[in-house]
Chain A
Amino acid sequence: GAVVSQHPSWVICKSGTSVKIECRSLDFQATTMFWYRQFPKQSLMLMATSNEGSKATYEQGVEKDKFLINHASLTLSTLTVTSAHPEDSSFYICSASPGQGPYEQYFGPGTRLTVT
């Protein structure tokens, strides 16, 4: 149980375009979802936290107009990278939790974004 999927697993886009990444909890309701960014050989950096039906809370230094997060249902959150640039190329990972608080987080397999 507790499976989180991401789609696509790898995407290449041209500079200036937007790309949407989906995160789904397959067998539980995810009240809270987290979006992370992982640079090569580096750790995961939390970008934002989203609770179903509410606006996402972004970490300091993360541009909310560039990284649009929507958590419209208890099983789906999306991250849209708007007007992507090569420096946005990274590995994006989501995690989902069944509640707000000290609940287990379940991680998706990640999406590799390459902006050319």
Chain B
Amino acid sequence: GNSVTQMEGPVTLSEEAFLTINCTYTATGYPSLFWYVQYPGEGLQLLLKATKADDKGSNKGFEATYRKETTSFHLEKGSVQVSDSAVYFCALRTNTGGFKTIFGAGTRLFVKA
């Protein structure tokens, strides 16, 4: 079946450090891949997405590249800020089973000033 595995947190970084959050997936068909962010006390927000192999999604300095050969969609940011502290969810959606979104477990990021 379809599944998403992402690195466990929490991840604690100092401001301006480089961020990588690993995400790998298993899917039938051709999934679209997403990163969502959940700030404290708020709902999920779409951060970026990629719909086919080798696509790069980017937003607010975050990037992720759809790697079909390694079934990965790692999230990166060159210089994190305190305001990036949140929980990040990797997710996939395929056209099998009615376009349901399958989420990874989430990775909590703390950024220290």
Contacts and interface: CB of A to CB of B under 8 A. Distances in A.
A-B complex is real: yes
Interface in A93-113: 93, 95, 100-105, 107-110
Contacts of A46: 100-102
Contacts of A57: 98
B82 interface: no
Contacts of B104: 43
Given A57-B98, A102-B32, A107 B45 contact: yes
Interface residues of A, number: 22
B43 A110 contact: yes
A42 B105 contact: yes
Interface string A3-25: 01010000000000000000000
A57 B95 CA distance: 16
A49 B100 CA distance: 8
Q: Which of A34, A44, A110 has the most CB of B within 10 A?
A: A44
Contact of A44 (B41, B46, B103): B103
Contacts, number: 46
A49 B105 contact: no
B93 interface: yes
Contacts of B73: none
Contacts of B89: 43-44
Nearest to B94: A102
Contacts of B101: 34, 46, 95, 105
Interface string B83-110: 0000001000101001111111110100
Contacts of A42: 105-106
Interface of A: 4, 6, 34, 41-44, 46, 49, 57, 93, 95, 100-105, 107-110
Interface of B: 32, 36, 41-46, 89, 93, 95, 98-106, 108
